Amino acid sequence: MQPLIDHIRREHRRIHGVEPEIIAYAPGRVEVLGNHTDYNEGFVLSAAIDTGLAFALSPLEGDECLLASADFGEAVRFQAVEPGRTDKQRWSNYSRGVLTFLRERYGFRPRAFAATQAGDIPVAAGLSSSAALEISSGLAFAEFFGVTPEKLELAKIGQRAEHEFAGVRCGLLDQISSLFGRNQALVLTDFRSLEVELVPLPGTVAFMIANTEVKHTLVDSEYNERRERCEQAALAFARILGPRIKALRDVTWEDMKRYRDRLDPAVWKRAAHPVGEDERVLAGAAALRAGRPEEFGRLMFESHESSRTLFENSCPELDTLVDAARTIPGVYGARLSGGGFGGSIVALIEKDRATAVSEALAAAFASVYGRRISPRVVVPSAGARIILSPRLRPRD
């Protein structure tokens, strides 16, 4: 993280000519098990990771804000009183939405600022750079305007920004993972109660991310269609089984089998994935607590097969990597991570075999697609935080 903080300090000085007054950092996340279950009020196992987004901010005279992206080499101006959204510098809509809804919630007096955002997390790799931006900007704005949202409140503000300013009907998984992450632990979230529990990882295992570099853009993908199908299925089961069915969380796999002929085939197919995922998440958490990584890995492979055949949010590049992972010594399991349609796989591996696993995955991918990728170990890490503020000593 420290190289990113040093980088954003330099970029802020270069772009705005002043030192940042506030710096906030939010990690990306890796979804380990529980694909598309969050908005179905189900369960997810995830982790904050050791790459993310930083957001630097300093006061500015006047009533016009200046927001710069060090990664895109662009800047945008907007009124402090009304940030609005734009169809041009779309990267700015995430933080503009967060600012809009923070002010709506707390009613603080708008004032101008100069801000810079920068990250070391790959964009569109399935590691949730967008949520990291929402949370890091939200923490910086809250510090700047003197408000103190609770973690879940800030997560919901980030989610609303993504819904209304970016056009993606995401769940809360990404924001919660970024805020609640802990070192060497997974975050188990119940997306009905929004209760969070930490599941420690055995010291002998690690997670590896392999980015296919296939760019997915959830706004333009079929993400929203998948969510609509799940909502249709929940309504259908409520008609069949009564008011106890509030979401797919309340549907069991036995229900899916018993009433398959009562649902539209396309709706059943989409709903079967998150219903099965909920059961895999709970079984996976129990396996980790019992020190059984082999069982957890088997569930990861099952999860990917469900994504591939039922939810159809995989792609050939992701399938190639997961198929290769099944044959590599030292790999317990692997699956796509995130919304799908591109991005990365995550693999649970023996920590001591990380180098050999990385080389084998890269070679398998290159043999099919003629280009090299660089799989890397990701470390479950601490969640989002303020790094620099007038109220605090600078800290790593």
Instruction: Answer for the pair 135, 178: CB distance below 8 angstroms, yes or no.
Output: yes
Q: Could you give the CA distance from residue 324 to residue 321 in angstroms, rounded to a whole number?
A: 5
Strand 43-59, strand 113-119: pairing? antiparallel
Q: How far apart are alpha carbons 56 and 163 in whole angstroms?
A: 24
Element (H, E) at 26: strand 22-33
- CA–CA distances in Å: residue 141 to residues 101, 242, 363: 11, 44, 44
Percent of the chain topping pLDDT 70? 96
- State residue 125's pLDDT score: 60
Using pLDDT thresholds of 50, 70 and 90, give the confidence band for residue 272.
Answer: very high
Q: How far apart are CA 85 and CA 165, in angstroms?
A: 6
- Measure CA 361 to chain center: 23
42 vs 250: CA distance, rounded Å: 9
Give the position of tokens 């503020």.
389
Residues of the chain with CATH 3.30.230.10: 2-197+381-388
Tokens of 77: 């101006």
DSSP 309: I
Q: What is the mean pLDDT of residues 97-108?
A: 96
Coil/strand/helix, residue 252: coil
In 210-331, alpha helices (H): 223-241, 253-258, 265-289, 293-306, 316-325
- Amino acid (one-letter) located at 54: A
User: What is the mean pLDDT of the segment spanning 243-255?
Assistant: 97
pTM recorded for the entire structure: 0.88
Query: Please, which residues bridge with residue 189 across strands?
Result: 44, 196
The CA distances from residue 335 to 9, 263, 280, 331, in Å, are: 36, 28, 13, 11
Handedness of CA 114, 97, 177, 321 (dihedral sign): negative
Please, what is the average pLDDT of the chain?
A: 93
pLDDT of the residue at 396: 46
pLDDT greater than 80 at residue 10: yes
Scanning the chain, the segments in alpha helix (DSSP H) are 2-16, 93-106, 129-145, 151-161, 173-180, 223-241, 253-258, 265-289, 293-306, 316-325, 354-369
**Catalytic residue numbers, as ranges:** 174
What is the identity of the amino acid at 16?
H
pLDDT digits 0-9 by tens, 135-176: 999 999 999 999 999 999 999 999 999 999 988 777 788 999
> Could you tell me where in the chain the CATH 3.30.70.890 domains are found?
200-378
pLDDT given at position 342:
85
Supply the pLDDT for residue 123: 62
Quick one: tokens of 261?
A: 């002929």
Q: At what angle do helices 129-145 and 93-106 cross, to 10 degrees?
A: 40
pLDDT at 218 over 70: no
Rounded Cα distance between 194 and 197, Å, is 10
What pLDDT sits at residue 219? Answer: 46
CATH class of segment(s) 200-378: alpha beta
Q: For residue range 322-370, list pLDDT tens digits in order.
A: 999 999 999 999 999 887 888 899 999 999 999 999 999 999 999 999 9
The CATH class that applies to domain 2-197+381-388 reads alpha beta
Is the distance from CB of 156 to CB of 208 less than 8 angstroms?
A: no
